[in-house]
Amino acid sequence: MKRRYLSLAATGAALCLTAVALTGCGTLAGNNEVTLRVVAADYGDNPQNSSTGYWKDLAAAFEKDHPGVKVEVSVYSWSEVDAKVAEMVKAGKAPDIAQIGAYADYAAAGKLYTADELLSVQTEADFLAPLADAGKVKRIQYGLPFVASTRLLFYNEKLLADAGVIPKDGKTPWQPKNWAELEAASKKLRTAGVKTPFAVPLGREEAQAETMMWMLAGGGGYTDNEEAYAIDSADNIKTLEFLRDKLVGQGLTGPVEPSKLDRQAAFDAFTRGEVGMLNGHPTLVKQAEEKGVEFGMVALPSADGTEHPAMGVADWVMAFKNGHRKESGAFLDTLFDAKNVTAFTNKYDLLPATTSGYRAMEAGTNGSAPELKTFLLALPNSRLYPVGKKSWAGVSEDVKQKIGKSVQPGGRPAEVLEEIATGARAAEPR
């Protein structure tokens, strides 16, 4: 299998499928009430905009239309939700539905329903084809793409202008050509007194994403052109050595060491005007705008200035075989209804995983923030995590635990990457 890139050219085929009517509302559970247990990740950055409210409203609407079915939703932060579900599964108490970061290990263990066992044809056909393909194990779809995002380099326009990195006219967009320019800009920011010239969050919350962004920009990635693990490649080693020597080692990454800096903490510092540059996803747009930060967004440059794929991320929904197939399927049809998809993606400034949602955002008819089109345009050529590998959940956890220390002064990237790669290959024999 060649390297998987998102290509929207295939999505048209999905729309050509004949849509069938969704099953009507009504009692699914017969005379016995069924309780669906749902575990979901929190996309909010504070208690006021927690995802709990969205799921609560969705559950209430579903219960009203489906007498006899109750929905109990537990929402956890991204730093703990995957581990929570893993603990539940290990204890023999898997939720009926989980919205988390990886699915393939559960699919490989035979614990999940397939997409066509759950969804109406109309719902299943609406997924963006490349995302649906990424949800497959041995050509069978188990992972249902919930939302998508791409990543861009954010920069504080005022801080960069005051440091002399960009003109103060406010009209000239900045596009650094390579890592040497990032280093030079970071040094100017430090000289100008910026607390954190370049934030590199390699804490537990999303170290696997920050790592992948830099790996891709360095010419590497978690896998090679044949989709085999290549975590300890020469390109990846050089990438982490750059972070260690040129950014962390020169005091350009701020007072909190990368291994202890979580993504949201870095975002919060950016919205306070304390960070010059950092890699971010669409939810940072609204957070920064609400705090009055003037910022720009550009592609993270590659090490040598050549083109490279951006990172794309899809978060996943899956249904465990708990004997509630029909009820879970009905709830998932509701979850992926167009109005509910739009409500969630607009609330958190994310990209839809459905063809109908993509086209509405592209046309500007779904009420989404105009800035999201920059991320949307990066989606077609983005590269995803190797989520189809049953070992990915464990590898991702390994990265979260170990990668941050590799870029500290005295860290040994080659040894850390080799250790992670050895475990990955052992868990995923070819």
**pLDDT digits 0-9 by tens, 404-428:** 999 999 999 999 999 999 999 998 8
Amino acid occupying residue 162:
D
C-beta separation of 293 from 220 below 8 A: no
pLDDT given for residue 31 in this prediction: 57
DSSP alpha helix (H) spans, 219-352:
234-242, 263-271, 283-290, 325-335, 338-348
Token pair recorded at residue 190: 């430090």
Token pair recorded at residue 4: 């998987």
Nearest CA-CA partner of 223 in 101, 380, 413, 387: 387
Question: Region 300-315: what's the mean pLDDT?
Answer: 92
C-beta separation of 85 from 93 below 8 A: no
Over residues 37-85, the pLDDT tens digits come to 999 999 997 889 999 999 999 999 999 999 999 999 999 998 899 999 9
Over residues 319-333, the pLDDT tens digits come to 999 999 999 999 999
pTM above 0.95, yes or no: no
Q: Which of 213-227, 242-256, 298-312 is most confident?
A: 242-256
Q: How confident is the model at residue 367 (pLDDT cuts 50, 70, 90)?
A: confident
What are residue 154's DSSP bridge partners? 278, 297
Stated as kind and residue range, the H or E segment containing 81 is: helix 81-90
C-alpha dist (Å) from residue 218 to 102, 200, 202, 233: 25, 15, 17, 11
Over residues 160-187, the pLDDT tens digits come to 999 999 998 877 789 999 999 999 999 9
DSSP state of 48: G
Domains by residue range for the chain, with CATH: 8-149+312-378 (3.40.190.10), 152-311+389-427 (3.40.190.10)
Question: Region 224-237: what's the mean pLDDT?
Answer: 93
DSSP alpha helix (H) spans, 218-324:
234-242, 263-271, 283-290
Strand pairing class (196-198; 275-280): parallel
d(CA 144, CA 99): 9
